[in-house]
């Protein structure tokens, strides 16, 4: 096992250093970021290239984590959230992200909204029966809605009291970014799989031409992977988390909140996993499907993608 | 309110979302899952040089094989092989305490074998060119099929075959079931025509050319064909991350001209153990040799079991066992073991093979005068071809390979074979002859793939 040294300025969150294991031409790199175990699997590269790849992957992921997390004070997202109604100039990367958020908001008829994070103040999904009062959520709805923002690239004006949160995009985006970088920098003939806590993408089949075998978590069991599938290219992403819900009078309130009502989406599945060409797209389709609630499967069938929906028995 | 596909901007959600995602990531839009770019040709080249000791068969065989990957699953493979064989191979006749003369297969000319020497037919020269093509593609997620064709041409032999197989993947491709079928037609056109089985080899001594020619023509029949049908059923099972196991059952049926037109048998006098003939028969005064004759059908059953195991350090152990039984009375066992040592960029793979075979029912090292029965042999089939006798083969070898990079590999393989035959030791004068000389061979293969 080799530990890759990363300078402190590239590791502002002071994560443990990345570790590389493997041999010959097959490598497994691990690090932590975005509250997930992150790993890259490399096929057909020599040790030196594998170390280099892991170094880049960790550095880039930590950069994105620092930039897009809403918990890092002083980062661009924090500056926007602290702007108190003043216009903020954003860089190209953030601008692309805001454009994307705008398109997702429109395509989902307002169901996907990066300003919906404030609703968390009313909802604590701890498995208890504590539901908020309707007036509590209605009050918060005044602070929710992408259309309340003024986005004139490169200027974003966020009304006072509102917040934006890229939590629904960041991790999948990081997977794609890292994969794109590694595909560019690694020699011809190598193959890569990037997996951040179950959201993953690969450059193609393994160096030996075989598919990557990927586990799909069964959210009902909360155990290790229960189903495996072969991935020859593209990406998988999962939306949902069965550990977060409320239960009152036999009704299960999922943590998927509809930003238009302030209440959980009725009939939302436990989790949705989607296969798509990129992780970001897979994740967004999975999120859209969750927001459809009971209509998740029908929505996904119309999109013509491979998907797995977990619902509770009965 | 449902999200539907007749969306704003006239775009279905998925399509529009895909386009938006591509814009975010700065990549080209793709409609389907990432596919391999249509790949380049993967080419393997090899040169095999084979040499048996004692001036026996020498062979050189260049091979070029090219595979084109259209995506991860669909492959076209083309293979060209050329063989050049020279040297001498045992004719089947027994050595004798007297010099012997044999007619060449073509009927023109003869060759001599010194007393005590193994009769080898040195008129043996051959060039073979073989071409094969196969196409593999998935039918759907669970099925893959392969179709192929094969053709080879030597100056006295044409072989053609078509084959197909279907594989079914079960439990996440950890189990593969394969069924395959191959149909072949071979046309045998021996030099001088195919001899009539168990007819007497005409010898020129003490005859006019015209007499000999007439006799030679009388032993010939036209060229002949054989058909082959092979069926295979196999199971491949991934036992765990390091172990792969394969089990095959094959059945092979061939019918038609299965005899070797160049192999003969000596007739031995029951009393003395000397070659029968001379003054013992007619006025010819020559020893008697018969052309061999084999059954015109053969049914083979094969069971094959292979296990590959990868050790913690990346070394690979590979062992296999093959059992074959046919209706000619031959049973054989083959044990093959390999161990691949991995080093940084190269590997070394020692190889050991043990082969054991029982003799065919009609295998005879020679026929006695009684069995010859004055030209109407008491048995309808007989062959002295050592490859149908009881034999044991041991092969030792090693392969060394070096990988320059992901695509290019150079490998050298060297193997040494010791094959010993055994059987009836003869009687009288014949008992002092070596009826079962060992076959020792070595071959060297140089291969390069890019």
pLDDT recorded at residue B71: 65
DSSP annotation string for B61-130: EEEEEEEEESSSS-EEEEEEEEEEEESBEE-SPPP-SS-EEEE-TTSS-EEEE-TTS--EE----EEEEE
Give the C-alpha distances (Å, rounded to integers) separating B229 from A193, B163, B183, B429: 45, 10, 5, 45
- Interface contact A176-B25, CB threshold 8 A: yes
- Interface contact A190-B14, CB threshold 8 A: no
Span of A15-24, A188-197, A215-224, B385-394 with lowest mean pLDDT: A215-224
Span of B43-52, B150-159, B299-308 with lowest mean pLDDT: B43-52
pLDDT recorded at residue A244: 67
Give the pLDDT confidence of B207-245 residue by residue, as tens digits: 889 989 998 998 998 768 999 999 999 999 888 878 889
pLDDT recorded at residue A306: 87
pLDDT recorded at residue A226: 54
Greatest extent of chain B over all pairs of C-alpha atoms, in Å? 111
B35 pLDDT above the threshold of 70: no
Contacts of A108 in chain B (CB under 8 A): 3, 13
A31 pLDDT above the threshold of 60: yes
- The answer to whether the peptide bond before residue A273 is cis (omega within 30 degrees of 0) is no
B82 pLDDT above the threshold of 70: yes
| Chain centroid to CA A221 | 22
User: What is the C-alpha separation between B349 and A312, in angstroms, rounded?
Assistant: 53
User: What is the C-alpha separation between B72 and B39, in angstroms, rounded?
Assistant: 9
| Residue A213 touches chain B, beta carbons under 8 Å | yes
Span of A241-250, B70-79, B168-177 with lowest mean pLDDT: A241-250
B22 pLDDT above the threshold of 90: no
Which own/partner pairs from B158-163 qualify as long-range (CB within 8 Å, at least 24 positions apart)?
A: B158/B186, B158/B187, B158/B189, B159/B130, B159/B184, B159/B186, B159/B187, B160/B184, B160/B185, B160/B186, B161/B185, B161/B228, B163/B134, B163/B230
- Interface contact B342-A24, CB threshold 8 A: yes
| Residue A278 touches chain B, beta carbons under 8 Å | yes
The Cα angle at residue B279 between residues B275 and B285, in degrees rounded to 5: 80
Split at pLDDT 50, 70, 90, the class of A220 is very low
User: What is the C-alpha separation between A219 and A245, in angstroms, rounded?
Assistant: 13
pLDDT recorded at residue B238: 84
pLDDT recorded at residue B223: 65
> How do beta strands B367-368 and B264-268 pair?
parallel
Q: For residue B276, what are the contacts with CB-CB under 8 A and spacing of at least 6?
A: B267, B268, B269, B287, B288, B368, B369, B372
Query: Which tokens belong to A190?
Result: 């190598």
Interface contacts (A, B; CB < 8 Å): 115
Closest-CA distance, A227 to chain B, in angstroms, reads 9
Contacts of B30 in chain A (CB under 8 A): 277
Preferred mutation among A24, A96, A267, A279 to probe B, highest tally of B CBs within 10 A: A24
B122 pLDDT above the threshold of 60: yes
- Supply the Cα-derived Rg of chain A in whole angstroms: 20
Q: Which of B123, B433, B390 is nearest to B274 (CA)?
A: B433
Q: At what angle do helices A296-303 and A279-291 cross, to 10 degrees?
A: 140
Split at pLDDT 50, 70, 90, the class of B6 is very low
Element at A191 (helix H, strand E): strand A191-196
| Residue A88 touches chain B, beta carbons under 8 Å | no
Q: Cα-flanking dihedrals φ and ψ of residue B76, to 5°?
A: -115, 130
Pick B173's closest partner by Cβ from A230, A275, A303.
Answer: A230
Preferred mutation among A96, A168, A214, A233 to probe B, highest tally of B CBs within 10 A: A233
Are A237 and A279 in contact by the 8 Å Cβ rule? The answer is yes
The average confidence (pLDDT) of chain B is 87
A222 pLDDT above the threshold of 50: no
Element at B290 (helix H, strand E): strand B289-291
Split at pLDDT 50, 70, 90, the class of B164 is very high
The average confidence (pLDDT) of chain A is 88
User: What is the C-alpha separation between B138 and A271, in angstroms, rounded?
Assistant: 31
Give the pLDDT confidence of B337-380 residue by residue, as tens digits: 999 998 888 999 999 999 999 999 999 999 999 999 988 999 99
Beta-strand (E) ranges in B17-72? 41-52, 58-69
pLDDT recorded at residue A15: 94
Query: Which tokens belong to B185?
Result: 């037609």
B281 pLDDT above the threshold of 90: no
pLDDT recorded at residue A188: 78
B36 pLDDT above the threshold of 50: no
Which conformational region is residue A14 in: left (phi greater than 0), alpha (psi within -120 to 50 degrees), or beta? left
Q: Return the HEC string of A73-126.
A: CCCHHHHHHCCCCCEEECCHHHHHHHHHHHHHHHHCCCCCCCCHHHHHHCCCCC
| Residue B217 touches chain A, beta carbons under 8 Å | no
Are A43 and A26 in contact by the 8 Å Cβ rule? The answer is yes
Instruction: Mark which residues 98-117 of A lie under 8 Å from B by CB.
Output: 99-100, 103-104, 106-109, 111
Split at pLDDT 50, 70, 90, the class of B25 is confident
Give the C-alpha distances (Å, rounded to integers) separating B8 from A16, A24, A150, B238: 46, 52, 21, 49
Q: Cα-flanking dihedrals φ and ψ of residue B275, to 5°?
A: -60, 135
In sequence order, the β-bridge partners of residue B162 are B149, B183
What is the average pLDDT across A188-201?
A: 91
Q: What's the N-to-C CA distance of chain B in angstroms?
A: 58
pLDDT recorded at residue B7: 43
pLDDT recorded at residue A182: 93
> How do beta strands B409-422 and B439-449 pair?
antiparallel
Query: Which tokens belong to A78?
Result: 């924090």
Closest-CA distance, A44 to chain B, in angstroms, reads 7
Query: Which tokens belong to B171?
Result: 């439990």
B39 pLDDT above the threshold of 60: no
pLDDT recorded at residue A223: 42
Are B23 and A117 in contact by the 8 Å Cβ rule? The answer is no
What is the average pLDDT across B429-433?
A: 93
Higher-confidence position of A192 and A256 = A192
Split at pLDDT 50, 70, 90, the class of B19 is confident
Split at pLDDT 50, 70, 90, the class of B282 is low
Nearest CA in chain A to B313: A23
Split at pLDDT 50, 70, 90, the class of A70 is confident
Of all residues in chain B, what percent are helix, strand and coil, respectively (each to 5)? 10, 55, 35
| Chain centroid to CA A121 | 21
Count of C-beta atoms within a 10 Å radius of residue B219: 20
Split at pLDDT 50, 70, 90, the class of A219 is very low
- Interface contact B30-A277, CB threshold 8 A: yes
Higher-confidence position of A304 and A301 = A301
pLDDT recorded at residue A120: 85
Give the C-alpha distances (Å, rounded to integers) separating A240 from A245, B231, B274: 10, 50, 92
Split at pLDDT 50, 70, 90, the class of B383 is very high
A128 pLDDT above the threshold of 80: no
DSSP annotation string for A295-314: GHHHHHHHHT-EEEEE----
| Residue B69 touches chain A, beta carbons under 8 Å | yes
Q: What is the dihedral of CA B149, B152, B157, B158, to 10 degrees?
A: 40
In sequence order, the β-bridge partners of residue B207 are none
A225 pLDDT above the threshold of 50: no
């Amino acid at each position: 096992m080799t530990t890759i040294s990363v300078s402190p300025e590239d590791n502002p969150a002071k994560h443990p250093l990345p570790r590389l294991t493997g041999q010959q031409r097959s490598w497994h790199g691990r690090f932590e970021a975005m509250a997930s175990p992150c790993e890259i699997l490399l096929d057909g590269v020599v040790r030196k290239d594998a170390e280099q790849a892991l170094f880049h992957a960790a550095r880039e992921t930590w950069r994105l984590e620092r930039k897009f997390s809403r918990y890092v004070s002083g980062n661009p997202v924090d500056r926007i959230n602290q702007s108190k109604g003043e216009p903020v100039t954003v860089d190209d990367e953030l601008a692309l992200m805001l454009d994307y958020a705008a398109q997702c908001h429109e395509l989902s008829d307002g169901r996907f909204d990066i300003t919906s994070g404030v609703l968390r103040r009313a909802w604590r999904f701890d498995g208890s029966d504590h539901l908020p009062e309707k007036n509590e959520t209605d009050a918060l709805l005044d602070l929710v809605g992408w259309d309340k923002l003024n986005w004139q690239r490169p200027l974003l004006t966020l009304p006072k009291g509102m917040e934006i949160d890229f939590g629904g995009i960041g991790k999948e985006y990081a997977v794609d970014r890292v994969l794109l970088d590694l595909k560019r920098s690694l020699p011809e003939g190598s193959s890569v799989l990037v997996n951040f806590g179950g959201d993953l993408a690969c450059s193609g089949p393994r160096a030996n031409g075989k598919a990557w075998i990927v586990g799909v978590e069964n959210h009902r069991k909360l155990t290790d992977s229960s189903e495996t599938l072969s991935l020859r290219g593209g990406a998988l992403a999962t939306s949902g988390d069965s550990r977060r819900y409320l239960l009152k009078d036999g009704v299960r309130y999922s943590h998927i909140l509809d930003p238009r009502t302030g209440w959980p989406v009725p009939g939302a599945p436990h989790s949705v996993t989607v296969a798509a060409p990129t992780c970001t797209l897979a994740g967004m389709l999975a999120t859209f499907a969750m927001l459809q609630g009971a209509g998740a499967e029908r929505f996904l069938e119309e999109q013509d993608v491979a998907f797995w929906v977990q619902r509770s028995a009965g | 309110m449902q999200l539907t596909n007749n969306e704003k901007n006239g775009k279905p959600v998925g399509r529009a979302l895909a386009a938006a995602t591509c814009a975010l990531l700065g990549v080209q839009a793709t409609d389907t899952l990432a596919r391999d770019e249509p790949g380049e040709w993967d080419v393997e080249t090899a040169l095999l040089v084979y040499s048996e000791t004692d001036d026996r068969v020498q062979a050189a065989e260049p091979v070029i094989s090219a595979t084109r990957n259209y995506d991860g699953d669909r492959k076209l493979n083309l293979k060209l092989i050329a063989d050049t064989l020279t040297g001498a191979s045992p004719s089947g006749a027994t050595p004798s305490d007297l010099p012997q003369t044999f007619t060449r297969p073509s009927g023109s000319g003869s060759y001599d074998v010194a007393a005590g020497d193994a009769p080898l037919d040195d008129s043996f020269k051959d060039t073979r060119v073989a071409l094969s093509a196969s196409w593999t593609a998935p039918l759907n997620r669970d099925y893959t099929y392969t179709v192929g064709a094969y053709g080879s041409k030597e100056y006295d032999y044409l072989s053609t075959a078509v084959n197909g197989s279907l594989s079914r993947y079960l439990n996440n491709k950890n189990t593969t079931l394969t069924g395959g079928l191959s149909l072949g037609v071979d046309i045998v056109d021996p030099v001088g025509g195919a001899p009539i089985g168990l007819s007497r080899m005409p010898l020129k001594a003490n005859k006019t050319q015209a007499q000999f020619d007439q006799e030679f023509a009388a032993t010939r029949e036209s060229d002949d064909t054989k058909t082959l049908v092979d069926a295979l059923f196999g199971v491949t099972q991934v036992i765990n991350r390091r172990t792969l196991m394969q089990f095959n059952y094959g059945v092979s049926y061939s019918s038609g001209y299965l005899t070797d037109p160049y192999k003969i048998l000596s007739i031995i006098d029951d009393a003395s153990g000397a070659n029968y003939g001379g003054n013992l028969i007619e006025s010819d005064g020559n020893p008697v040799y018969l052309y061999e004759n084999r059954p015109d059908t053969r049914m083979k059953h094969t069971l094959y079991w292979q296990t590959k195991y990868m050790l913690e350090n990346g070394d690979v152990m590979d062992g296999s066992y093959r059992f074959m039984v046919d209706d000619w009375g031959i049973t054989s066992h083959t044990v093959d073991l390999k161990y691949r040592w991995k080093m940084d960029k190269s590997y070394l793979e020692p190889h050991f093979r043990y082969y054991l075979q029982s003799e065919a029912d009609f295998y005879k090292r020679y026929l006695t005068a009684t069995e010859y029965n004055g030209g109407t042999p008491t048995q309808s089939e007989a062959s002295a071809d050592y490859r149908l006798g009881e034999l044991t083969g041991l092969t030792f070898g090693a392969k060394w390979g070096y990988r320059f990079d992901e695509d290019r590999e150079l490998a050298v393989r060297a193997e040494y074979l010791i094959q010993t035959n055994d059987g009836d030791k003869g009687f009288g004068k014949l008992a002092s002859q070596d009826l079962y000389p060992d076959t020792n061979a070595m071959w060297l293969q140089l291969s390069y793939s890019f």
